[in-house]
Structure 1
Amino acid sequence: MPEYLCAAELIDLARRAETASPAACACTKTSLVGWQSQPVSLDEAQLREIATLLPPDDPEPSFAEYLPGKVKYWSPDAPIAPRYFPYNRCGIWECRHCGRLYLRYTEGGGYFVDRRIRALDSALIEDVPIQD
């Protein structure tokens, strides 16, 4: 079971990975700065789950989204708010070759299942409490 990270731990992990000077890698063939359906060009075996944002004491995290202003879910500058959907259902995955970090979760709809992925960017992480 991957270790749960709070927002502060996530920021620290992301900053460490960003300063590691990653090499050129196949994991960057497609830009993943905003949420994307996982591209077929990304080899699943290249990634390993290293942590989770799914709270261990909350079997059904909130579906509330944090999208301030006119920011959209798919926007590259949308905040990463770990207490909000979809981040509160994400695993943190690391590329085995270059060390880049990604957020991943599975979106399930009435007729589909879609594995989604987004590059982790420490500058976008916001620790925002859930509004009731």
Structure 2
Amino acid sequence: MTRQLDAQSLLELAQAAEARIVPDCSCTKASLEGWQSQPLSLDETRLVQVGTLLNPELAEPTYSEYLPEGTNYWSAEAPVAPYFFPYNRCDVWQCSACNRLYLRYTEGGGYFVDRRIRALHARLITDVSE
């Protein structure tokens, strides 16, 4: 069973992971500071799911975004707001080699599916709700 995370437990998980990061891992070959299409160079076999932000009690999570201070969806400094899109559809993954955390979800459009990924940093996590 996947661990359900809220903003506080996500923050605690991120802080613990950041305290144990091992530098110079191959998972950092591509910059994943803001949302990106998952690069082919990322070795998925090293990623282990450690939690989810998807609330199973919600029939349809909101598509509202939380983007203050001129940030946008692609911004590396955009806050990670677990109750807002796209974070409310994310699973949390950890690199087994270096302990870095990543958020991942699948963006679906009319004619495409795009697996998106973003590095998770504790300093960006914010506990705001709708």
TM-score category, normalised to shorter length = over 0.9
Residue 48 (1) aligns with residue 48 (2): yes
User: What 5-or-longer segments of structure 1 have no aligned partner?
Assistant: none
CA distance in 1, matches of 2:21, 2:85: 30
- What TM-score do the two structures reach when normalised by structure 1? 0.95
- What is the correspondence of 1:35-114 to structure 2 with a 5 Å cutoff? 35-114=35-114
Q: Which moved more, 1:15-24 or 1:103-112?
A: 15-24
Deviations 1:12-56 (A, max 9, x none): 000011111323211000011110000000011111111000012
Distance 2:106 2:49 in 1: 14
Structure 2 unaligned spans of 5+: none
Measured on the aligned residues, the alpha-carbon RMSD in Å equals 0.9
**Count of aligned pairs between the two proteins:** 130
Aligned residue in 2 for 1:11: 11
Identity %: 58
> Take 1:112 and 1:21, find their aligned partners in 2: how far apart are those partners?
34
CA drift at 1:118: 0.4
Give the C-alpha shift of residue 57 in structure 1: 1.1
TM-score by structure 2 length?
A: 0.96
1:129 aligns with 2:129: yes
Post-superposition shift, 1:88? Answer: 0.3
